[in-house]
């Protein structure tokens, strides 16, 4: 009989909540965030440990990256090869990491965002600093080892990192509902900060900043908000403003050029290309006329972006413009979040160093406990061998008289003499008094005869003295915290001497960039909108020379100033604002720009642009007319808004805006219906309403009829409409009253 199924009834929302929390914590702790102790994310830790296990040391040949990635994925990190290889690549990039942990051989990407070559082409090995500061002492039981994902291997829970990697290399990671962003710092300064904390555990943030004044980005640059750093380091959260380094160089002909030699850290990668495009845009949009040429001359030697200026250009003002309008001044968001005791925690700089120092004491305690145990074992064996040398003749007699190893060992350990042939009773009595330990007896039995040479015995005595010194030293380190602190600080000082480098990032308080923008010259222009809703701008002389072609090819022509905005109305009652400056300006035959590219108008939606596009609204009255014959007058000032899109009118169901136009004094309106009914009214009879109103009825329509056009008749104009083959002069129509039936033609 089959075993009865066990059905557990649970609320679905509870299952989802528990599952999501489990997933979120897994991502936070096991993938996205670094541990405060070693400053490494799991993928980085596993990759470094695997390279250590494979023996890919700094003094050994390079090995294929694919070998490292495959081994790491198979043993420790079953999350796909791309994430492992990306971690390996980033750990080798000196423009991303303050202290690269891996030495790459081959194409490992560039500062300009070029990706690394495929892992089958590149090779890697550990850096010397990684071997000495990150992976040393793994054989001394300094960290706990845990089973890997399938429990076939063991991996370290955390690496025994001896320097505060979380600060030195920084960290970036996006988890579920949280993210970490820690800037890199200078190796030597961080070591100084750790030593200062160990000497004074009550050190505060301000005092710590005497040793660690701020981040040190591998790309250099200038931090311009020094006064904000104290709050950032105290709370672990804030924004660092960083600028690129610009040099002004004089060239022949009295001209100058700007040379960018260092970039803000957030600019690395694709943002260098974006910066170049932003500079092009400044030229195209006439924000500056001082730039003649820009070229990216960066190479392996470093960043070099050259901007050539025209003669007489204000180089400093242009620098400020670049800081203001491009990513030459950028922001690094700081959120110093790391995993502490299995939980994510945001910390300031002092708590991070406190956790690191606590970890160093734990490592040192476990290391010297292991070393002390080994030295004590060695002492026990050495004491046994020294004692054996004194009674070597008796031991040889025991060995020659014993039948087997067990009998000889029993005599050495417990003084058992039964079955052993001795030369004399005295020897037997002496043998009965022997009392070596198991370990000593084994060492004696394994001892080679050459160890009985006088010099070898002296060497044994010297080793014993060295062992006793080590025991005394290790005991002192374990029993006295000050002794342990001295050992840790001595190691840190040695690391600083070998691996520290000069600071690259300048820290200062710099006033915000102020740009003296030259007022743009106002000129009269014509905006040409074709039947495909492409717009372009030409000056009036160009328009006059091509007037016939412009009128034939354009759906609408708007005369305005180059600094004006165009208000484009749609049949759905929306108004979209466009800056005339956003449209291409130039020759008559230049290509136009789709209006939906420079506004929020979406040509793919069921929304059509009306022919009317009005350049100046303020100080004018606008007339709105709809298919259902609803009319209203609106003050143009209501459309003087900052928003690029706004609702221009309220519409009844199934109604559409038919016409929008600027009212002129003495204008009359002619409404024309689908059934050829006409009504001419005085525009002044249309009441003024707010833009949110529906309006009033202009003409009474028969059932099923609607307006097809609204014509504006200005004094002196003669407009005709063809109906059933005959022309109707609109200015000859009788002016009637609003909200009456029209005349059928």
> Catalytic one among 49, 121, 134, 368?
121
Q: For 19, what's the count of Cα atoms within 13 Å in the CB-facing half-sphere?
A: 7
685-717 residues labelled b (16+ CB within 10 A) or e (exposed): bbeebebeebbbebbebeeebbbeebbbbeeee
Report the distance separating Cα 35 and Cα 352, nearest Å.
11
End-to-end CA distance of the chain: give it in Å, rounded: 93
Long-range contact list for 429-434, CB < 8 A, 24+ apart?
Answer: 430/391, 430/394, 431/394, 431/397, 431/398, 434/391, 434/394
Q: Which helix (H) or strand (E) holds 646?
A: strand 645-647
Handedness of CA 695, 696, 698, 703 (dihedral sign): positive
Q: How many CB atoms lie within 10 A of CB 377?
A: 12
For residue 609, give the 3-state DSSP assignment: strand
**Dihedral over alpha carbons 95, 99, 104, 110 (to 10 degrees):** 0
- For 286, the token pair is 């006439």
DSSP letter at 653?
A: T
Q: Which residues contact 484 (CB under 8 A, 6 or more apart)?
A: 361, 364, 365, 368, 477, 478
Residue 256 has phi, psi (to 5 degrees) of -130, 160
Q: What's the distance, CA 305 to chain centroid? A: 23
Helices 81-90/65-75 angle, 10° precision: 130
* 495 flagged as catalytic: no
Report the distance separating Cα 231 and Cα 425, nearest Å.
86
Please name which of 231, 265, 281 lies closest in space to residue 98, comparing C-alpha atoms. Answer: 265
The C-alpha angle with vertex 78 and arms to 76 and 82, in degrees rounded to 5, equals 110
The catalytic site residues sit at 121
């Amino acid at each position: 009989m089959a075993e009865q199924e066990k059905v557990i009834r649970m609320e679905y929302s509870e299952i989802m909540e528990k599952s999501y929390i489990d997933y979120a914590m897994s991502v936070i702790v096991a993938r996205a965030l670094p541990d405060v102790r070693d400053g490494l994310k799991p993928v980085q830790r596993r990759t470094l440990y695997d390279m250590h296990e494979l023996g890919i040391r700094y003094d050994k040949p390079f090995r294929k990256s694919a070998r490292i990635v495959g081994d790491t994925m198979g043993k420790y990190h079953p999350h796909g090869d791309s994430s492992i290889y990306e971690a390996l690549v980033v750990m080798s990039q000196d423009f991303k990491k303050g202290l690269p942990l891996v030495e790459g051989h081959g194409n490992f990407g560039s500062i300009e965002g070029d990706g690394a070559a495929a892992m089958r082409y590149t090779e890697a090995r550990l850096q010397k600093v990684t071997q000495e500061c990150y992976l040393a002492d793994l054989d001394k039981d300094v960290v706990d080892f845990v089973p890997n994902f399938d429990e076939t291997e063991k991996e370290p829970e955390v690496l025994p990192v001896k320097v505060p990697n979380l600060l030195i290399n920084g960290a970036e990671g996006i988890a579920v509902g949280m993210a970490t962003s820690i800037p890199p710092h200078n190796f030597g300064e961080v070591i100084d900060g750790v030593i200062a904390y160990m000497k004074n555990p009550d050190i505060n943030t301000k005092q710590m900043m005497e040793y660690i004044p701020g981040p040190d980005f591998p790309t250099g640059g200038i931090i311009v908000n020094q006064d904000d750093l104290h709050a950032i380091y105290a709370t672990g959260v804030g924004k660092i403003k960083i600028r690129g380094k610009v040099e002004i160089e004089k060239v022949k002909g009295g001209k100058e050029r700007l040379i960018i030699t260092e970039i803000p850290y957030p600019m690395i990668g694709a943002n260098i290309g974006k910066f170049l495009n932003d500079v092009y845009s400044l030229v195209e949009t006439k924000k500056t006329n001082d730039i003649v040429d820009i070229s990216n001359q960066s190479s392996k030697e470093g960043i070099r972006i050259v901007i050539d200026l025209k003669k007489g250009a204000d180089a400093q003002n242009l620098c400020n413009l670049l800081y203001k309008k491009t990513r030459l001044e950028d922001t690094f968001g700081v959120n110093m979040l790391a995993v502490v005791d299995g939980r994510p925690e945001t910390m300031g700089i002092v708590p991070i160093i406190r956790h690191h120092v606590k970890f160093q004491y734990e490592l040192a305690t476990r290391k010297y406990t292991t070393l002390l145990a080994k030295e004590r074992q060695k002492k026990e064996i050495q004491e046994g061998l020294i004692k054996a040398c004194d009674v070597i003749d008796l031991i040889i007699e025991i060995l020659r008289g014993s039948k087997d190893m067990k009998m000889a060992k029993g005599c050495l350990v417990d003084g058992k003499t039964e079955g052993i042939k001795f030369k004399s009773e005295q020897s037997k009595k002496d043998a009965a008094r022997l009392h070596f330990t198991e370990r000593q007896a084994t060492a004696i039995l394994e001892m080679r005869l050459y160890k009985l040479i006088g010099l070898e015995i002296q060497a044994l005595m010297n080793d014993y003295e060295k062992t006793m010194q080590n025991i005394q030293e290790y005991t002192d380190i374990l029993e006295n915290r000050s002794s342990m602190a001295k050992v840790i600080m001595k190691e840190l000082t040695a690391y600083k001497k070998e691996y520290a480098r000069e600071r690259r990032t300048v820290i200062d308080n710099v006033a915000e960039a102020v740009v003296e923008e030259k007022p743009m010259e106002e000129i009269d222009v014509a905006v040409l909108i074709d039947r495909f809703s492409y717009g372009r701008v030409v000056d009036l002389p160009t328009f006059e020379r091509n007037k016939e072609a412009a009128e034939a090819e354009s759906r609408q022509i708007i005369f305005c100033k180059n600094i004006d905005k165009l208000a484009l109305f749609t049949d759905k009652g929306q108004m979209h604002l466009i800056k005339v400056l956003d449209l291409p300006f130039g020759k008559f035959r230049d290509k136009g720009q789709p209006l939906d590219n420079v506004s929020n108008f979406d040509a793919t939606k069921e929304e059509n642009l009306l022919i009317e596009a009005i350049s100046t609204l303020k100080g004018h009255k606008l007339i709105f007319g709809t298919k259902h014959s609803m009319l209203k007058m609106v003050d143009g000032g209501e459309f003087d808004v900052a928003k690029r899109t706004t609702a221009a009118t309220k519409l009844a169901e199934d109604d559409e805006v038919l016409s929008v136009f600027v009212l002129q004094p003495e204008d009359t309106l002619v409404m024309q219906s689908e059934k050829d009914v006409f009504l001419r009214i005085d525009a002044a009879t249309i009441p003024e309403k707010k833009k949110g109103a529906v309006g009033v009825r202009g003409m009474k329509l028969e059932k099923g009829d609607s307006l097809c056009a609204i014509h504006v008749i200005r004094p002196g104009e003669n407009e005709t409409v063809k109906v059933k083959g005959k022309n109707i002069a609109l200015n000859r129509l009788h002016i009637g009253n609003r909200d009456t039936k029209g005349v059928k033609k």
